[in-house]
Amino acid sequence: MNSVAVVLLVWTLASPSSGGHTSREAWPTHLACSGGGLEVLYQSCDPLQDFGLSIDQCSKQIQPNLNIRFGIILREDIRKLFLDIALISRGSSVLNYSYPICEEDLPKFSFCGRRKGEQIYYAGPVNNLGLDVPQGKYEILLELYNENRATVACANATVICS
Ligand SMILES: *[C@@H]1O[C@H](CO)[C@@H](O)[C@H](O)[C@H]1NC(C)=O
Ligand SMILES: *[C@@H]1O[C@H](CO)[C@@H](O)[C@H](O)[C@H]1NC(C)=O
């Protein structure tokens, strides 16, 4: 990650897309990665903030050790952090998955335990099982939440595999 990209990411996180109106437009759609027959677009579904995400190796053969970059300003403390993933294909629910990211006795990442108001930036691997994405278009809903079930980040993504 070079410093220009870090500056851009921080700038993106810190710039509201509109001037604090109560009914505002949705957050812009971002491209997390494109290439290798796969395209991943996402949009924050947290009305209060946007966040930055990019996936380093884009391929429909998802590697077990995938490098990502993720940046967000924390709205909540994250002593514990969980990720819920829901996969939807052609309007029907295909898969629900829940994954612990930070647990008190088992912090998997350096940012575990950070406090509300702090900015976290993670660049590194996320372990997964690896998978060949079947051709198609998928919708994915992602939600990060803490020990009090308070939303830390939320996104809806579209994955297009050709
Ligand atoms: C996110 O959801 C909104 C509302 O359903 C939809 O209009 C938008 O296209 C979705 N964005 C992505 C990147 O999937
Ligand atoms: C996933 O969760 C949603 C909401 O709780 C539920 O409606 C859906 O049936 C679940 N899908 C699967 C495949 O279990």
Query: pLDDT tens for residues 59-84?
Result: 999 988 899 999 999 999 999 999 99
Question: What's residue 11's pLDDT?
Answer: 52
Structural domains in the chain, CATH included, are 3-161 (2.60.40.770)
Q: What is the model's pLDDT at position 107?
A: 74
Q: Above 70 in pLDDT, residue 4? A: no
Give yes or no for residue 26 CB within 6 A of ligand 2: no
Its pTM stands at 0.83
Rounded alpha-carbon distances, angstroms, from residue 152 to 35, 93, 116, 121: 29, 23, 10, 14
- On the question of pLDDT at 25 being above 90, the answer is no
- Ligand 2 within 6 A of CB of 87: no
Summarised one tens digit per residue, pLDDT across range 86-115 is 999 999 999 999 999 999 887 779 999 999
* CA–CA dist 17, 6 (Å, integer): 19
- Ligand 1 centroid to Cα of residue 141, in Å, is 10
Residue type, position 55, single letter = I
Average pLDDT of the chain, as a whole number: 87
Phi-psi region of 63 (alpha: psi -120 to 50; beta: other; left: phi over 0): beta
Please tell me the distance between residue 75's alpha carbon and the centre of ligand 1 in angstroms. Answer: 22
Q: Which of 99-108, 138-147, 148-157 has the lowest mean pLDDT?
A: 99-108
Q: Which of 116, 19, 30, 21 is nearest to 69 (CA)?
A: 30
User: Sorting pLDDT into bands at 50, 70 and 90, what band is 19?
Assistant: very low
42 lines ligand 1 (CB under 6 A): yes
CA atoms of 80 and 69, how far apart (whole Å): 20
